[in-house]
A and B are shown apart, each in its own frame.
Chain A
């Protein structure tokens, strides 16, 4: 069967377009029904994992003072704007980290043109952040989190980890990591830090979080000490 030349052209164009869209979606991890994308769009609109750091100006102007930190990635200051959450409360962040894969971040000086954003971490000292973010994430993901703990190696501090995966077994997800107080008394000299880490791909514990991770709750970890 011979196709009309015009039909052949249309078919070829369609296939090429679909291919380009598919490759683009694969590279930028765009998906429908995507709570991880929704989290990113809420707090750093325009920022996409999978894109190169050099493309940042074309994605968003909400991150300034970007600098490279070996073993982590690029650290910047996010817009001071306070983002509106589903419960109509507002929240801002103090720092944004564009996390790189193991090979790229081990370079003493990374090339932004070759550094793809592997995950995004937002850090805040706002004491209301844990409650607000847990509520927002439960709304966006429509599920309860998987719970774990991140014990730090050197200062005996524990960080509570709540993990939302989509679909429930992964591959993508968001982790909410919250400093637990060292003592029953509040510690005014040092704020409790909260961070939100959005990642693409299968959750791989410590590798994904860039922090020691255990499936036990922090209460279990503390009682075992």
Chain B
């Protein structure tokens, strides 16, 4: 009992020292271990760079590939030569646009796009969070992401990791959606990709404009995960 009490006494006497030691160890570990969020950003940026580089080389590579395939299969060659535009490519500049705001994102849409009451049902969208705008030849929808793996209905021909014009990480897929042209993007304020934007266009030109619009998206200050 006495020993136990001594033990307590010793512990009490050592408490400030133990506290100081714990703080010291904590600080030293904190100082040595890279910040997790910083590392996540580094990993996401590094990965995005590699994918962007691959996309930038994709066209040349596909042409070279098509050239070799031509000797074997002419129809496959034609398909390869008709390489669709890259998801990294944003060639739209100076088109008329309209600013739109919602509880999810704010962005610049092509002229003629207005918010619609009716929202297309999407499996990836968190129920009740989706907002949609429609215009001549297409629509665009933004929502919080419930299931990113349920998102992909595109037959994506190109994928790109990039940043929005405001610096948020964004993963973009570009491809066909049935007989139309689609773009799907996941935006993350901190690499967690919690906002999805999907756009469908009847032409490649509008697809490019909607892709540009998606790059202009900014997470709304009113957005909650």
Partner of B57, one of A69, A125, A210: A125
B159 adjacent to chain A (CB < 8 Å) = yes
Within 8 A of B (CB), among A190-213: 190-193, 195, 206-207, 210-212
A62 to chain B, nearest CB (A): 18
- Segment touching A, from B34-42, B90-98, B101-109, B211-219: B34-42
B146 adjacent to chain A (CB < 8 Å) = no
- Segment touching B, from A5-13, A37-45, A134-142, A150-158: A150-158
Kindly list chain A residues whose C-beta atoms are within 8 Å of the C-beta of B50.
Answer: 123, 193, 195
CA distance A212 to B66 in the complex (A): 33
Task: Report yes or no: B53 in contact with A94, Cβ–Cβ below 8 A.
Answer: yes
- Segment touching B, from A25-33, A51-59, A70-78: A70-78
Within 8 A of B (CB), among A173-221: 179, 186, 188-193, 195, 206-207, 210-212
Please name the residue on chain A nearest to B45 by beta carbon.
A71
B58 adjacent to chain A (CB < 8 Å) = yes
Kindly list chain A residues whose C-beta atoms are within 8 Å of the C-beta of B186.
Answer: 154
CA distance A72 to B171 in the complex (A): 18
Task: Report yes or no: B158 in contact with A207, Cβ–Cβ below 8 A.
Answer: no
Q: How many A-B residue pairs have CB under 8 A?
A: 91
Task: Report yes or no: B54 in contact with A210, Cβ–Cβ below 8 A.
Answer: no
Q: Kindly state the interface size class of chain A when it binds its partner.
A: 20 to 34
Name the residue among B39, B66, B84, B157 with the largest chain A CB count within 10 angstroms: B39
Within 8 A of A (CB), among B22-69: 34-35, 38-39, 41-47, 49-51, 53-55, 57-58, 61-62, 65-66, 69
Task: Report yes or no: B69 in contact with A69, Cβ–Cβ below 8 A.
Answer: no
Question: Given contacts A69-B49, A95-B53, are A190 and B43 in contact (CB under 8 A)?
Answer: no
Partner of A207, one of B39, B80, B159, B161: B39
Please name the residue on chain A nearest to B64 by beta carbon.
A188
A8 to chain B, nearest CB (A): 42
CA distance A191 to B69 in the complex (A): 15
Please name the residue on chain A nearest to B69 by beta carbon.
A188
B177 adjacent to chain A (CB < 8 Å) = no
B124 adjacent to chain A (CB < 8 Å) = no
In this complex, how many residues of chain B approach chain A with their Cβ under 8 Å: the count is 35
A105 adjacent to chain B (CB < 8 Å) = yes
Task: Report yes or no: B47 in contact with A190, Cβ–Cβ below 8 A.
Answer: no
B83 adjacent to chain A (CB < 8 Å) = yes
Kindly list chain B residues whose C-beta atoms are within 8 Å of the C-beta of A179.
Answer: 54
B155 to chain A, nearest CB (A): 12
Task: Report yes or no: B45 in contact with A72, Cβ–Cβ below 8 A.
Answer: yes
Kindly list chain B residues whose C-beta atoms are within 8 Å of the C-beta of A211.
Answer: 43, 46-47
A15 adjacent to chain B (CB < 8 Å) = no
Kindly list chain A residues whose C-beta atoms are within 8 Å of the C-beta of B38.
Answer: 71, 102, 106
CA distance A192 to B62 in the complex (A): 12
What is the 8 Å Cβ interface bit string for chain A, positions 139-150, against chain B (1 contact, 0 not)? 000000000000
CA distance A155 to B66 in the complex (A): 25
What is the 8 Å Cβ interface bit string for chain A, positions 114-135, against chain B (1 contact, 0 not)? 0000000001010000000000
CA distance A80 to B75 in the complex (A): 34
Question: Given contacts A94-B53, A102-B34, are A188 and B46 in contact (CB under 8 A)?
Answer: no
CB<8 Å pairs between A and B, sample of 14: A70-B45, A71-B45, A75-B49, A102-B42, A106-B35, A106-B41, A153-B44, A154-B161, A154-B186, A188-B66, A189-B61, A191-B58, A207-B34, A211-B47
The 8 nearest A-B residue pairs measured at CB? A188-B65, A71-B45, A102-B34, A191-B61, A210-B46, A125-B57, A71-B41, A188-B62
A154-B47, A189-B84 are known; give 18 further A-B pairs, CB within 8 A.
Answer: A69-B45, A71-B46, A72-B45, A72-B49, A152-B47, A188-B66, A189-B58, A189-B80, A189-B83, A190-B61, A191-B54, A193-B50, A193-B54, A206-B43, A207-B34, A210-B42, A210-B43, A211-B47
